[in-house]
Structure 1
Amino acid sequence: MRKALILCLTAVIFVCLLVAGYGQSVSTTSQVPTIKVGYTFVDHHASLMVAAKKGEAFQSSGTYLKPVIDKEKYELYDGGKKVANIELVVTKSGSESATLFAQKHIDLSLLSITAGMSAIDSGTPIKILSPLQTEGLALVFPKDSTVNGWEGFIKYLDTKQEPVKIGYHSPTSAPLMVFEGALKQNKVPYTRNPNELNAKILLVDLKDTPNLIPALTSKQVDGWVGPSPHPQVAEKTGVGKIALDLRDLPPQGAWHDAPCCAIAGRTEFLAQNQDAVVKFLKLMAYAGDYANKNHDEYGDIVAQWIGIPADAAKASTIVFLTDPTDTWVKNLGVYQDLMNSMNKYKGALKDKPLAEVKDVLFDFSYIQKALGK
């Protein structure tokens, strides 16, 4: 009897261990990566907002998000299968994204392309994976200003005895890079030193996009350069006016389709989660294309997400794209040359043309797979 009882208990223990082992195996194989995605409250990053808000309505595309906590946590699905958990991390700017990358607090980020380039130059282990959008940059002055266009801006500068204060939200932002590049190319003297009174322009770091409009109303600055939707919000709320779309800076046509924001990823994370990253990029491509084709709906989504007037969001001139076309890469070469000429680099990118550092900056293999190329 005792022997039979021992045999029975042994069998029960064996079955329990077998079931436990089986359960552990299932749990292990069903695990998916968690992708922490950085983004900023600007409509340049609306592809992510559109993908999140449309959610399972994108199911017919094959890749979509299932909400867990609105604006915070989602599940990424592809072909009916869960491939990743998504956690959204709000950042103030591309430079903050670079810091979070270095600290391993985010895995992917939507950020200014120039912020990504600066981060790579300083040794942050990331790669630029794809473009995100172009256009959507402007120079804004108070609503009663008579400044209009580049010529009007230059005439305005000539009437002033002291440097005109122009604000910006981040030292590595695309609006600043384009504006500063145009100033340099057109030989307009500028400075960041408030004691340098011979300059025509004093550039002022306003630290964050939410500070742009208050800096105008408080007269901390005479004007600022910034990304949409802030110029449109300034106009629609009666605070400011768009004096110049930065695409129209001279020389004529040089700043059309200028690279602005991109998607970047931490190299360690990329190597370990290739399939999930490809699926995420696939979704960003689809959402961006959807936004391009459904402008008013995308404007409503942006307005609700970041809390701005819908007419301001719908006034945006952004074009979304994720395919690194020859034109986009060529224009990025202009950025690279400008950033070198302005002594923005101190590390791996210093004094090097884009052709020499493409492998340092980019890994387009993920977006090519996502686009089926």
Structure 2
Amino acid sequence: MEKKQIFGIFIALIVLAGIGVILLNPSGSSDSSDSQKVNTPTSVEQSVNTPTNVEQGVNTSTSGVKTIRHGYLPSNGDALIFVAKEEGLWTEEGLNVELYQFTKGTEGYNSLFGNKLDTVGAGTSDPATYIAQGADITIIGGLMSEGQFLVADPENAKDLADLNNWKGKKIATIAMSNGDLIYKAALKKAGIDWKKDVTFLELGSPNAVLEAVKTGKADGGIIWIPYEILAQKQGLAIASYSYQYYDNHPCCRIALKTETLNEDRDTYVKFEKGLIKAYKFFSENQNESVDDIQKYVNIDKEAIRQSTWSNYFYASPDPNTNGVKEYYQMMKDSGYIDTDVKIEDHIDSTVYKQALNELIKENPDDQFYQNLLSEYQKMNE
């Protein structure tokens, strides 16, 4: 056979091998730039970039240990996730919880819908928006409340602290984040048409929001913890807090596909037990919790402590059904969503309740769990 023919066959084999690799890895790695405009998905099927460290595959386990793939944000708002993982509290429940990072809620939910994650912890706006669009997902627990901010150049901060001064301004935000909704709802309540009177620059991460404000591309930016600390270190100022417009509003919720929950409810009761135990540990062991958080949130320990144990952030695994229903109604009233879907049909607080009851039975003299039961009754019944 001539050398040209041999060379041609060799090239053809390389091309075929390359095609095979592409077919075996359809998720690709096409991450978008932080500065690229991100539009809110119009349906649950619309594609959003998938986190590159979330692998395809099925939920596997070894030696009878159940594996849950959980998507998280690199924020101290996910403190209970980090504590449960690092302190082995899920291991005690017979679970192997694998953590996968994403930068915004839409990425996490895209991976959930693509069967690359089993559970997601992100702001209330994310699952609520997808539910409003017809996604069959269920909220089973919480992680945090509040913790959203508007930051600006110190010269503009006082001006932007008054919502009436937002007309004609450009505000950097992350679509479907809790702060995005809270501030838009506050504008609507103040009689300002946020769709016409304010320009919202939708970006891909809190860091991109900070950069837009620092470079003057935006007058202000909406971010979440712990980026308020980073913002101040970079010379920006906090103009306002989300709790000023909605006190103790729910933020990150634990959600999963309804089908997944129905197929293996006991596993997710154990998942919630791990989070409840993490909440107890978090409440009683501040220094150790800071160490656990810092493994996932890349800022110094004192900044983590300042942002986490503050008067503008509350950690809690309670699903807070009543708060989520109120939040959902606010989304509708502000024009953020338009739907007849009832959010209460997609909240199952009994998963958390069962987990809490089991812990009370296992620890009958522990007042911490008794107090959580009282809180549950106020927020869910």
- The normalised TM-score by structure 1 is 0.72
- Contact 1:300/1:313, CA 8 A, preserved across alignment: no
- Which residue is 2:70 aligned to? 37
Q: Which residue of 2 aligns with 1:165?
A: 170
Q: Tell whether 2:324 aligns with 1:332.
A: yes
Report the Cα distance in structure 2 between the residues aligned to 1:228 and 1:29, rounded to whole angstroms: 36
Contact 1:44 1:133 (8 Å CA) reproduced: yes
Instruction: State the AA in 2 paired with 1:38.
Output: G
Q: Distance in 1 between matches of 2:214 and 2:298?
A: 19
1:247 maps onto 2:243 in alignment: yes
The structure-2 alpha-carbon separation of the partners of 1:292 and 1:242, relative to structure 1 and needing over 3 Å to count, comes to farther
CA distance in 2, matches of 1:31, 1:297: 30
Match of 1:51 in 2: 84
Contact 1:36 1:106 in 2 (8 A): yes
Number of the residue aligned with 1:19: none
Query: Displacement, 1:122?
Result: 2.3
Change (3 A) 1:84 1:301: closer
Q: Structure 1 residues 131, 242: closer, same or farther in 2, change over 3 A? A: same
Task: Quote the Cα distance in structure 2 between the aligned partners of 1:101 and 1:304.
Answer: 24
- 1:222 maps to 2:233: no
**Counterpart contact for 1:292–1:320, Cα < 8 Å:** no
SS in 2 for 1:244: strand
| Structure 2 CA distance for partners of 1:125 and 1:46, relative to 1, 3 Å | same
Contact 2:75 2:226 in 1 (8 A): yes
The 5-angstrom pairing of residues 20-169 of structure 1 reads 30-55=63-88, 64-65=89-90, 76-78=91-93, 83-147=94-158, 150-151=161-162, 154=164, 156-157=165-166, 163-169=168-174
Aligned twin of 2:202: 205
| Offset, 1:142 | 1.9
Aligned to 2:87, the other structure's residue is in SS state helix
CA distance in 2, matches of 1:177, 1:157: 15
Aligned residue pair count: 294
Deviations 1:40-84 (A, max 9, x none): 1111111111222333xxxxxxxx24xxxxxxxxxx232xxxx23
Which deviations, in whole Å up to 9, do the C-alpha atoms of 1:99-132 show, x marking residues without a partner?
Answer: 1121111111111111011122223331000122
Any stretches of 5+ residues in structure 2 without a counterpart? 1-60, 358-372, 374-381
Q: Please say if residues 98 and 124 of structure 1, whose CA atoms lie closer than 8 Å, have aligned partners that are also in contact.
A: no
Relative to 1, partners in 2 of residues 1:311 and 1:248: Cα closer, same or farther, differing over 3 Å? same
Q: 1:232 to 1:292 in 2, by over 3 A?
A: farther
- Residues 289 and 320 in structure 1, CA contact (< 8 A), matched pair in contact too: no
The unaligned stretches of length 5 or more in structure 1 are 1-27, 56-63, 66-75, 250-254
Q: Kindly tell me: are residues 145 and 179 of structure 1, through their superposed partners in 2, closer, same or farther at Cα, counting changes over 3 Å? A: same
Q: 1:323 aligns with which of 318, 323, 326?
A: 318
For residues 242-268 of structure 1, the C-alpha deviation after alignment (integer angstroms, 9 at most, x for no partner) is 11111113xxxxx11101111112222
Bigger radius of gyration, 1 or 2? 1
Aligned counterparts of 1:30 and 1:174: Cα–Cα separation in 2:
40
Q: Output aligned runs, 1:293-332, within 5 Å.
A: 293-316=284-307, 317=310, 318-324=313-319, 328-332=320-324
8 Å CA contact 2:181, 2:336 repeated in 1: no
RMSD: 2.4
Counterpart Cα distance in 1 of 2:125 and 2:113: 16
SS of 1:306's partner is coil
Q: Is the 8 A contact 1:130 1:364 kept in 2?
A: yes
**1:358 lines up with 2:373 in the alignment:** no
- CA 1:130–1:92: 2 relative to 1, 3 Å: same
**Alpha-carbon separation, structure 2, partners of 1:29 and 1:220:** 51
* Identity across matched positions, percent: 23
1:187 maps to amino acid: G
SS in 1 for 2:251: strand
Q: Please state whether the residue corresponding to 1:147 is helix, strand or coil.
A: helix
CA drift of 1:296 comes to 4.8
Q: Secondary structure of the residue that 2:122 maps to in structure 1?
A: strand
CA–CA distance in structure 1, aligned partners of residues 82 and 226 of structure 2: 14
SS in 2 for 1:220: coil
**Structure 1 partner of 2:278:** 287
Q: Distance in 2 between matches of 1:33 and 1:304?
A: 24
TM-score, normalised with respect to structure 2:
0.71
8 Å CA contact 1:213–1:239 kept in 2: the answer is no
Distance 1:357 1:302 in 2: 31
Residues of 1 paired with 2:323 and 2:229: CA distance?
25
